[in-house]
Structures are given as C-alpha cells and as structure tokens.
C-alpha cells in the first residue's frame, strides 16, 4: 500500500487507524515511513468525541493540513499532532475510510515538506476512496480474525491447564476418603463421594478435550509416528480408561482383534485420544445393558478400527453435522447426555493428520458405528 500511495501522492509516512469501541475511539493499527524512528506507533488511541477527526469522519471529506507545526500551535491539546511534528512531519492529508456509508477509519498521508498536498490530491482520494476502503477493511478483518483466534486458543489452553491440576487433586483426595484410608464412612457419605468423583472425572475429561483442541488450534499438534504395537500401545490403554464405565452400565464388550497384527506406523499417543473418544462416546450414548463391539482390521491399504454400540444412533440427515467443532446432534436421546462436540472433532483432526479418514453409520433407534482408517505406510507430508 505504501509503495502504491507514493506513486500518486507525496508521502514520507502513511498511517492506518480504525474506529473501535462502538465509534468512541480511533486506534492506530499500522504505520510505515521512509525514515526512523516512528514515534506514533500501533496501539496509539484517542477519543473521537469533540475531536477534529470526528468532523472529518462525519463529513466524509479528506482534510489537508498545510503546515502541521502551525496547526499544533493552534491546537496544543492534539497529542497525535505533537508526536508527528516530533517525527519531522510538516503537512498531512487525512482520508476517511468509508464502506457503504459507514465510517470505518482513516488513512493518514504525511510529508516532511509543508504544503505538500493540494485540492487535486483531495479529488484524487475521493475517486479512489470507496474501493480502497473496501480493500483495507477486508485486510483488517482477516488480521483481526487471526488475532482473535490466537487469543481464543491461548485463553482456552491457559484456563484448561489451570483447572486440570486442582480438579485432579480433588478427585484423588475424594478417592482416598471413599476408599476408607482416613477412616470408615457411612454408606451415605460414600455415595456422596462417589458422586463427587464422577462429576470431577467428567470435568477432567472435558478439560482434556479442550487442551487437545487448544493444541490443534495453536498449531502445536504435531505427528510423531513410530512403528507401534497397536493393541498394546493404543487399544489396551484406551479400553482401560472406559472399562469401569462399561461395567457400571452393565454393557457387554466384544473385542475382535487380529492375533498377528504387524507393527502399525502411527503416533500412538494421538490415536489413543481418538480411540478413547470413540469408546467413551459408545459407552455414554450406549444402551444400559447393551452391547459394545471394538473391531480392528488389517487391510492391504492400512488399518481400520470400528466401535459399534447398541443405542439411539442418529438420523441419516444428521450425519453431515458430525466431526464439526462444537456441533451436537439435537435428538432428545442425544441431547440428554452432556457434551461439547469437541472430542469427535479432535478425533477427526488427528485421523486426518495421519492421512486417514473417519466415517459413521447408524440405524436410528438401534445402533451406531464410528470408524477410522489409517493408511500404511503413512503418506509423506
């Protein structure tokens, strides 16, 4: 932008500022000059109420200041003018940015020569204003969305991490009490502690899902593949996490595992997250006393893992909503269970990181099956 502007205008410095806080303030976002140092930097803000900039924005007309030091003498309270004069700026052209009759900000063109700008430059700006304003707004929105997403990821990771250890400690203390290590308890007290442990474990699982999501959104979810013993390093640890829940619901577990499965090229830590999520969902949404089946198949093109359960399943029209961040199906049976829609999305991302694919099938009111495939060998990234 700086180079293009200099072809049309005398310009030693260009500044870009946007209106924020519901039109109450103008905030500097970008500046570029052919000199150093730049003293009026990103983040500098001034209130618009009663300012000359407010009048420029309301009139939607460019403003020329032919002699900035003289202007400062007449307007000694203008902090931005004082800084620009200190930089060596001697004249300026203030150009409002307007999109569909809505003021979004200003571009400041500055020169180290007095009387650098003329009415011709104002007319030229008015001819370019709408199109340039749209281009600048789009660029700013993209940058703002990127910054907001980064901030959201950082807060997500921080909050999740700060909650994880205290809740884990509370669960441990409750288990110590419930198991009678600090003395015998009445049945009523034990039930209360078991309920506390159950709710704490749910929160801990939730935090784990958000931490995984934060790692992905922050670009920190890297694939570290090894030749893994899939049953020992992925299947058994994942089952260990849900066996207690399976027993509590009186479900029957069927395992269909190949006896001579060769080493699988994968990141076992990440695939444990995937399989634990699918198994956990199968238990959560499975029918009391129903069946749960885990199948691992070695195929010529790779490995397929499927988790099937008896339960409410889902309707065919809901299938496109699966594997999307924060997406939950709206049938009464599924809404009755707590969830965020994060875990399945995380699993989908991890499988795709392996170059694989996830799938889901169901007969509504009877069963559901979620599966994933990992190609062998893994594709080159």
Average pLDDT, the chain: 83
Identify any residues that bridge with 30 across adjacent strands, giving them in sequence order: 16
* Same-domain pairing of 322 and 342: yes
List, for residues 326-346, the tens digit of each pLDDT value. 556 555 555 445 555 677 888
Q: Which residues of 200-228 are buried (b: 16+ CB within 10 A; e: fewer)?
A: bbeebebbbbbbbbbbbbeeebeeebeeb
Which 3 state secondary structure label does DSSP give 376?
coil
Q: Are residue 27 and residue 7 in the same domain, yes or no?
A: yes
Q: Are 258 and 297 in contact (CB under 8 A)?
A: yes
Which parts of 222-314 are beta strand (E)?
Answer: 226-228, 252-256, 264-266, 291-299, 302-310
Do residue 212 and residue 234 come from a single domain? no
234, 209: one domain: no
The 8-class DSSP code of residue 367 comes to: E
Rounded to whole angstroms, the Cα distance separating 274 from 14 reads 50
Q: Which of 126-135, 237-246, 351-360, 372-381 has the lowest mean pLDDT?
A: 126-135
User: What is d(CA 9, CA 120) in angstroms, rounded to the nearest whole number?
Assistant: 10
Statement to judge: residues 31 and 92 lie in one domain: yes
Report the CATH number at residue 346: 3.30.565.10
User: According to the model, what pLDDT value does residue 325 have?
Assistant: 67
Across the range 312-325, mean pLDDT stands at 78
What local confidence, expressed as pLDDT, does residue 336 receive? 47
Domain residue limits at 170 = 148-217
Residue 140 lies in a domain: no
Kindly report, residue by residue over 48-82, the tens digit of the pLDDT: 888 888 988 888 888 999 999 999 999 998 889 99
**Do 237 and 340 reside in the same domain of the chain?**
yes
| 371 contact partners, CB below 8 Å, separation of at least 6 | 304, 305, 306, 307, 358, 359, 360, 361
Residue 353 confidence (pLDDT) above 80: yes
pLDDT at 2 over 60: no
**Pair (32, 96) in one structural domain:** yes
Same domain for 83 and 185, yes or no, is no
Do 253 and 359 lie in one domain? The reply is yes
60/37 same-domain check: yes
Domain boundary (217, 244, 260) is at 217
How many domains, in total, are found in the chain?
Answer: 3
How far is residue 53's CA from residue 75's CA, in Å, rounded to a whole number? 13
Within a domain: 135: no
Do 231 and 348 belong together in one domain?
A: yes
């Amino acid at each position: 932008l700086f180079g293009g502007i200099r072809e049309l205008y005398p310009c030693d410095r260009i500044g870009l500022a946007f209106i924020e806080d519901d039109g109450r303030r103008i905030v500097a976002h970008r500046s570029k000059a052919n000199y150093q140092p730049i003293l009026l930097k990103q983040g500098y803000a001034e209130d618009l109420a009663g300012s000359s900039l407010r009048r420029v924005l309301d009139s939607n007309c460019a403003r020329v200041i032919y002699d900035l030091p003289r202007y400062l003498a007449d307007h000694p309270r203008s902090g931005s003018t004082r800084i620009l004069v200190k930089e060596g700026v001697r004249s300026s052209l203030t150009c409002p940015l307007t999109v569909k009759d809505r003021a979004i900000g200003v571009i400041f063109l500055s020169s180290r020569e007095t009387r650098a700008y003329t009415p011709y430059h104002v007319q030229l700006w008015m001819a370019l204003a709408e199109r340039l304003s749209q281009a600048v707004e789009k660029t700013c929105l993209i940058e703002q969305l990127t910054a907001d997403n980064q901030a959201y990821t950082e807060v997500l990771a921080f909050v999740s991490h700060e909650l994880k250890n205290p809740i884990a400690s509370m669960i441990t203390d409750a288990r110590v009490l419930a198991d009678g290590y600090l003395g015998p308890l009445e049945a009523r007290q034990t039930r209360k502690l078991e309920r506390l442990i159950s709710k704490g474990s749910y929160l801990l699982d939730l935090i784990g899902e958000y931490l995984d999501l934060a790692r992905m959104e922050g670009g920190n979810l890297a694939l570290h593949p090894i030749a893994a013993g899939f049953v020992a390093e992925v299947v058994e640890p994942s089952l260990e996490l849900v066996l207690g829940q399976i027993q509590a619901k009186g479900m029957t577990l069927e395992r269909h595992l190949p006896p001579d499965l060769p080493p699988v090229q994968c990141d076992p830590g990440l695939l444990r997250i995937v399989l634990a999520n699918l198994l956990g969902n199968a238990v959560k949404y499975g029918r009391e006393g129903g069946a749960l089946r885990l199948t691992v198949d070695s195929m010529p093109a790779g490995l397929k893992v499927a988790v099937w359960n008896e339960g409410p399943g889902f309707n065919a029209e809901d299938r496109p909503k699966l594997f999307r961040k924060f997406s939950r199906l709206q049938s009464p049976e599924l809404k009755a269970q707590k969830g965020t829609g994060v875990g399945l999305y995380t699993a989908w991302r991890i499988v795709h990181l392996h170059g694989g694919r996830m799938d889901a099938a169901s007969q509504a009111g009877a069963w559901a099956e979620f599966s994933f495939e990992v190609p062998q060998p893994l594709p080159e990234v």
